[in-house]
């Protein structure tokens, strides 16, 4: 497992991985703009700084056919949203 010291390190590492994968697949940033439907400046910011919305990150990962990684993260969640809500809601109640 990789250990990160700061959020910035994680952010820049993710940006580097996205850029490397785009290049490996032979796409330009302009082509990624078309594949993702996000503005070129937004795409470039994701690659350069790791900055952007979760929605845009998902668009990039899907365009790069990396959605399996998203699926792995979602599958690892053991409790349902309802179970999580009930757990959080129940914390403030006395038994």
Supply the CATH number for residue 79's domain.
1.10.260.40
In a domain, 59, yes or no: yes
Give the residue numbers spanning the domain of 16: 7-91
In a domain, 2, yes or no: no
CA distances from 71 to 43, 45, 67, 68, 77 (A): 22, 25, 6, 5, 10
pLDDT tens, the chain, 95 aa long: 556 578 888 899 999 999 999 999 999 999 999 999 999 999 999 999 999 999 999 999 999 999 888 787 777 666 677 777 787 777 645 44
In a domain, 21, yes or no: yes
**Total structural domains in the chain?**
1
Whole-prediction pTM? 0.71
In a domain, 1, yes or no: no
In a domain, 18, yes or no: yes
**Burial (Cβ within 10 Å: 0-12, 13-18, ≥19) of residue 81:** exposed
């Amino acid at each position: 497992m990789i250990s990160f010291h700061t959020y910035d390190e994680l952010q820049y590492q993710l940006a580097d991985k996205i850029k490397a994968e785009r290049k490996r697949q032979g796409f330009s940033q302009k082509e990624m703009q078309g594949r993702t439907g996000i503005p070129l400046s937004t795409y470039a910011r994701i690659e350069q700084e790791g900055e952007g919305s979760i929605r845009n990150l998902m668009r990039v990962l899907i365009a790069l056919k990396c959605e399996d990684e998203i699926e792995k993260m979602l599958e690892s969640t053991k409790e349902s949203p309802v179970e999580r809500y009930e757990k959080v809601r129940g914390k403030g109640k006395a038994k």
